[in-house]
Amino acid sequence: MSIDLPTLAPPAPAMTWRQEMRAFFSMWLKDHGFIRDVYCNIHRVDDRVWRSAQPAPHHLRWAKRQGIRTVLNLRGRRDTCGSYILERRACEQLGLTLVDFPIRSRSPLDRETLRAAGKVFGDIEYPMLMHCKSGADRAGFMATLYLFLHKGVPLRQAMGQLSLAYGHMRQAKTGVIDFFFEQYMAAAEARPMSFDQWVDEVYDRDGLEARFKENWLAGVLINQILRRE
């Protein structure tokens, strides 16, 4: 299995006006950007970090005005997706560093990805905006990890980033994120250990995934109606 790690986005390609229009309609229709033009789920995590859904260029211009220097793209590199094409170009034009770090929201992450997720917060330049497609699940996972590992916030408190207020539903398959953190807390209560120690010595990705059960109705809402990634 190949492991995706944080990488700097490549330079944006030159585009004709026709290519730009195709990218725009891909973003706005195929990638549901028309919804995010109404509500982009942008929230402040702390004084150095924001979280959001997939930003359009005008959202990135807003982020630049807030002092953002780095954009952490949790959807990863998607060369044929209009949202990503326009995001790369906007970040380049605005002088923002775009870091691609694809992670999953419906199954537990691999050890290597978890290690990289914890490390990335010490490597990037702040202030930072992190985003996935909807700003609910992957952004919530990373916001929780940031507060817990990088800021020392108690994990249960940090898990407030995994809330229905952001669109996260723990009853659906995306609830495996909550289940992941809860398994660590249970293990650390039985035998005190750091998060890194648990990941390295105890964490069983396949076993955790097998034990998690989603509510089928919540799954229909998230996957078929809202069509989350």
Q: What percent of the chain has pLDDT over 70?
A: 93
Contact indicator for 166, 137 with CB cutoff of 8 Å: no
pLDDT (average), residues 171-198: 95
Confidence of residue 216 (pLDDT cuts 50, 70, 90): very low
The mean predicted confidence, pLDDT, of the chain is 92
In this structure, which CATH number among 3.40.1710.10, 3.90.190.10, 3.40.50.9100, 3.40.50.2000 belongs to the domain 7-161? Answer: 3.90.190.10
- Residue 226 CA, distance from chain mean position: 17
Domain ranges of the chain: 7-161
Give all strands (DSSP E) within the chain, no chain letters: 7-8, 43-44, 49-52, 70-73, 97-100, 128-131
Confidence (pLDDT) at 215: 72
pTM of the predicted structure, to 2 decimals: 0.92
For the chain, how many residues are written? 229
The pair of structure tokens assigned to 14 is: 């030159």
